[in-house]
A and B are shown apart, each in its own frame.
Chain A
Amino acid sequence: MIEVKASCEFDGQKFFVKPPILNDEEAIVEVHHIRLKKREEPFSIPIEYLPLLLNNETRQHAVAFCEFALQQRFTQDDAVTDLLKLVAKKGFTVAEAVLDNYIKERPFISKVRVYQHSEYGREYAGSADFTDGLQAFEIEIPTLSHKKYPKNIYVKPESLSVFLTKTQYKKALRRIDSFFTLLQKLERLTPFVTRATTQKITDAFFNNRTECTLLLSKFSKLANERAKRNEVYDRFNDGKALEIEEGYLVYPNVEPVPYSEREPYFISKTGEVKEIKNGWRSKEKLYKLYLNGIKNVELEDCGITEKTRTAIAKALKEVAPELALILLP
């Protein structure tokens, strides 16, 4: 490994290096991915900050400020990047005041607060983040003015695609805790219901609480059912065996099973292997097959190679070890 010491001049973008080994011929070096040596995280220091790290008079202060800003664990690296750029532009005093303000505005755990939604270190007008310090949700409020609240650099928000009108927003602020509870419930529903449904529940929260409760209960049941359905689908696609009343379902979509035999199979409790011809392709169909058994499904006797037989046996190993032994070639 080579190491060359050299005097250099940094112009804000490039290093002009004159290593003695080049007989004082100048090499212009451009760099990227600048990081503090002592810190592990992959945070990249902006190039504007480098002069402060190179200057003997400012370097200690610059390292300390950068470390302190990183210790705050803001969710957005851009917040720290912007602070370091601010130091480079306006000096430590101004940037330290901004950092103090960031620390002062940090949310308290369990106390719900509203922040301006921000991305890449910039505030977004028309969106607010509701947070209890642990979770945050981005809500779209088209009438919300720019920079009304401090920007959220503390908790990464989930986007719920919920719009609030001006009146709804005022009501939400008055009942901020219960509104936040609603958002937490909506977050659990989001992967399973449409955007229109989440909006309908939100509107009901402001207009008719009974309807809101009923809707939440109805869609929670639906969401639970769909979550189970997804879990079954994922397990099946991961090659795990599903136990049903009449036997087991296995989808050996793994190496070294030949592609022509990567089909779903039904294995009876006596070890008979049959290919499932239909009724499994969508999540819903597979889930019905899992719940109702193979009554309405077309099965076909099939000849499978030893490789497929071994893969099926492996999948059955945990749920039906004895059956797995029978199936092993």
Chain B
Amino acid sequence: MNVKSTVSIKQHTSSWKIETEDFEAEISTIRVHDVEVPHSLYQQLFSAKSAKLRDIIRFVSKISLSESAANDIFRIYMTQGKAACMPLLLEYEKFAPKGKMRFYNGFSFFSPGIDEFTLTNGVIGCAIKVAGYNLGESTEEKRIKAELSTFNFPKNVYYSQGNRPIEIPLEQFKKLHANPQGQVEKIAPSLARLNLIVDYLTSKRVEKIVADILNNNEESLISAETDAKRRLKRDKTFRKLYGKSIRVPGGRLVLGEKDTVYYLTRNKLFRLNYTSTQLKEAVFRAVSKRTVPLKLIEVEKAKIPKWINL
């Protein structure tokens, strides 16, 4: 339900608030033309001298710069003024994706590596790292470096997301790059989806999924997405153990040192006899399906950690 009203935007000592007669609310973000304005520029934004700042905001919005690149522009604007920002903005505009899928160098605005690329249209995208290149010292690495330096992509100031990049061999990257423009447009959304779940996949599986995507086959991606969704839930459940115990039938699960999980009943303490992934899985099943874990080892009285205070 949309409500129309009149409010005051008011500067306080250390914050800005939206106020009416009855309530006040602290402003967390202000976006103009979908660009987040830094807190330090609020005063200028709401002053009579906001025209130049709004010009910059409109420009940044037009070329849809990534947040870190936009912040850099605002930093230059604050220290050196509008004139110093314009040459940079014009250069960024020249290479902007403008809705088309394009390759860029680097994952984000900061110090792009020679083996780091982003494929984006400004709205969605994926970070790609070419495997096998570390310091560029061995013969193989020198070969990769030489081949990588032939890709002269503009710097990525348009898209960044925090996930681990998709790591693929140079040959696969070359194949991807060689795809005709129309083909890349088709493939890129799938790669973007893969990038969102890449933290849950082994590099071999990623390589296979990329190969399938290049052959227009999404089956392995869909299956990986289902797995990732479950793993995400499982990790979330396990993380709940940090800081508090979880009730399960007949007692509680408590996290001990070095990721040991205990099952605490009325007067006994058991250790869940699983390791790493199996442990997370056992906790997940105990919490979601309300079952007591099967592999339990009773902890001897003398070995019960003092903090458990049984």
Contact = CB atoms under 8 A, between A and B. Distances in A.
Contact of B7 (A8, A30, A35): A8
A51 B3 contact: yes
A31 B309 contact: no
Contacts of B175: none
A12 interface: yes
B309 A33 contact: no
Given A37-B19, A53-B22, A195-B310, A3 B31 contact: no
B31 A31 contact: no
A9 B2 contact: yes
Contact of B310 (A27, A31, A55, A194): A194
Contact of A28 (B4, B11, B31): B31
B8 A4 contact: yes
A139 to B, nearest CB: 12
B18 interface: yes
Interface string A1-23: 11111111111100101010111
B1 A12 contact: yes
A213 interface: no
Nearest to B48: A21
A37 B30 CA distance: 22
A190 to B, nearest CB: 9
Interface in A21-79: 21-23, 25-37, 45, 50-51, 53-56, 59, 62-63
Contact of A53 (B23, B29, B251): B23
Chain B: number of interface residues, binned into ranges? 35 or more
A54 B20 contact: yes
Given A35-B23, A36-B22, A2 B10 contact: yes
Contacts of B25: 31-35, 50
Nearest to B37: A27
Contact of B46 (A4, A34, A35, A126): A4
Given A22-B50, A36-B22, A53-B22, A196 B30 contact: no
Given A6-B9, A8-B7, A35 B20 contact: no
Interface string B95-111: 00000000000000000
Nearest to A10: B3
Contacts of B32: 22, 25-28
B1, B24, B25, B30 — most chain A CB neighbours (10 Å): B25
B18 A31 contact: yes
Contact of B47 (A17, A21, A34): A21
Contact of B2 (A11, A25, A56): A11
Contacts of A22: 32, 45-46, 50, 54
B136 interface: no
A36 B22 CA distance: 6
A25 B20 CA distance: 21
B3, B29, B43 — most chain A CB neighbours (10 Å): B3
Nearest to B34: A28
27 contacts: A2-B10, A3-B8, A3-B9, A4-B8, A4-B46, A6-B6, A8-B7, A9-B2, A11-B2, A21-B47, A22-B54, A26-B32, A27-B45, A28-B30, A29-B9, A30-B30, A30-B31, A31-B27, A34-B24, A37-B24, A50-B3, A53-B22, A54-B7, A54-B20, A55-B5, A126-B247, A161-B309
Interface of B: 1-12, 18-34, 37, 43, 45-48, 50, 54, 247, 250-251, 266-267, 308-310
Interface of A: 1-12, 15, 17, 19, 21-23, 25-37, 45, 50-51, 53-56, 59, 62-63, 124, 126, 142, 161, 163, 194-196, 199
Given A6-B8, A126-B247, 18 more contacts: A1-B10, A4-B9, A8-B4, A8-B5, A8-B6, A10-B3, A15-B18, A22-B45, A22-B54, A29-B18, A29-B30, A31-B18, A31-B26, A32-B26, A34-B23, A37-B21, A54-B3, A142-B251
